[in-house]
Structure 1
Amino acid sequence: MTAPRRAAICTAVLLGLLTASGCSAVELPSAAQATPVESIPVQPIAVVTGSITSVVSVPVTAVVRPEYAVVSPGDGRVRLASSLTKDKEVTAGQVLGWLGETTITAPTDGILTYRLPDRTTLIHQGIPVATIRYPGFGVTGTVPVAQAFRLSADPSIAKVQLDSGPGVTDCAPQPTAPAGSSTPSTTTPSAASPSAAVTSTPAQSTVVEAPTTAAATLEVLCLLPSGTGVVDGLTGTLGLRTGEVTDVLVLPVAAVAGAVDHGDVALVVDGTVTTTPVTLGISDGVLVEITGGLALGDQVLPFGPNLRQTIS
């Protein structure tokens, strides 16, 4: 049999097999035939009541003698105690200074590693007035910036589970010491070194400005009690409970455009969709508390207003 004849027979057999197996050409829909996203029907969801426990889980590592910051509880002029001296011991409860009538105290025993350079300083809330080196162990980790808003309120309860270590242990969350806080910068900080900037005013007082940073994570620190029985470098998981509410109005987080305090929803009334502002409470990453702007039973689209769909 010649080669051309063998090729013709093989081609005929292959075509026969394809036909027998039901293979046929498929005509794909054109772009004009595709269903636009806007016309996909979406069923609204109702505002309901529920309970939320906001817990942020963070992978952590045990560290020896960590430094933490003592921050200003508000905006105003901080006056430091005259006895406050760098590299000296402080005790838990010792008065470090005052913001108006509010007393600022040391949370734990330790060594003072930094204090504001002037005894009287104009300062913003959350800026460190001092840093203290804790004499024991702590755990540190980083929270992705997407979850950092959930730590805007001080955690009410913190527990850590260390791998191959002691069982679940309570710990004390503390603000982390800014980079270079032992030798504070006197210039505007860079993203790589978010220390507080210190500038002089004509009145010879010092204004401490909030640091600027482009970091994609937020560092967290939790101090372990004495006698926990850990070693440097031990890893584990830290759980920070930032709040708990019961019998409150809730929606899935996907239904709200916004994350902290305020947001928008796509409210559905008689088939008409309206972007409606709402106020927000705590979130557990799945549900978010609605503190204002909606009532029980209100209907909203399951996606935020920026992802609005047609109602079925």
Structure 2
Amino acid sequence: MSGVTNRTVTDGEDDSRLDRWFKQHYPSLARGRLEKLLRTGQIRVDGGRVKAGHRLRAGQTVRVPPLGLETAAPAPARRLRSRDDTAGHQATAKLLADAVLYRDDAVLVINKPAGLPVQGGSGSPLHVDGALDGLRFGHGERPRLVHRLDKDTSGALVLARDAAAARWLTAAFRGQDAQKLYWAMVIGEPQPRQGQVDLPLAKRPGRAGEKMTVDHESGNRAISRYTVVENLAGKVSFVAMTPVTGRTHQLRVHMAEIGVPVLGDGKYGGKEAFLVGDGVSRKLHLHARRLRLCRPDGEVLDVSAPPLGHFAQSLAFFGFEQAAGDAAFARLFEVGV
């Protein structure tokens, strides 16, 4: 019989009922026993007691007590870890340890590189979640995910270093208390130059995988604010944005819907999301630049992630000023749109 384990809810399991999550992962666990484990607090989500009908959110941690079951179903789309995977996760942990932007006893903030998923998937053997054991820095608990960034989005990613921190951080992100500043380069120039996009989004299947689409009948409300930082001859703009709500791919879909797809976002912008010519990367140009939120003790956590790789190279190529991008924070949050 194994001991207590903590499992992270994946993106594909977002909004699943807890009882159905257990049925999927532990099919031989009887319903009556599940209810008893929940009543006695042996099963918890982010450290708190919950009921069988609790809706899970991606990034939450499910505490699973010793069950004494012979087998447990693996998480969907996750391979058994091979020796190569283990070595890969160790290398990823070292990469992320060098990318730490902020660390204290409760919080860890890293500058996630573009191309690295936060959680695993069918084509992603290496990811942040798989490397968290290597980011303890002498702390007893394994860091926990409290929010996520898209695989191809770079920038500030917050990790909780214990259960208490996971609770208040998760509440801050879910309650829209966290101020998140994103930088992007988009094709063309948004009109007006500063505004708000309010279009409901829903997830739809497709031949190339799931996509978010605007759905005025059954979509969830999604609001994004943006302001143009600089524009180059009407061809490409440096834009600062913030997602007021937190829907999947929200900023990318909203920019594409108003006719200015994020540079390199073929998924939502198609061929119009790319510039012809040398010197510009075809990768997604979206970066989580700054994160600001209030801690339970009243102190403010304010962390900025310097752009790296292709994003930094494109800023220099177009001659866009980072200082101007930082100045947009006041326009989006302190003054509003």
Could you say which TM-score interval applies, normalised by the shorter chain?
A: under 0.3
Q: Which has the higher strand share?
A: 1
What TM-score do you get using the length of structure 2 for normalisation? 0.26
TM-score after normalising by structure 1: 0.27
Structure with the greater relative contact order (CA < 8 A, sep ≥ 6): 1 or 2? 1
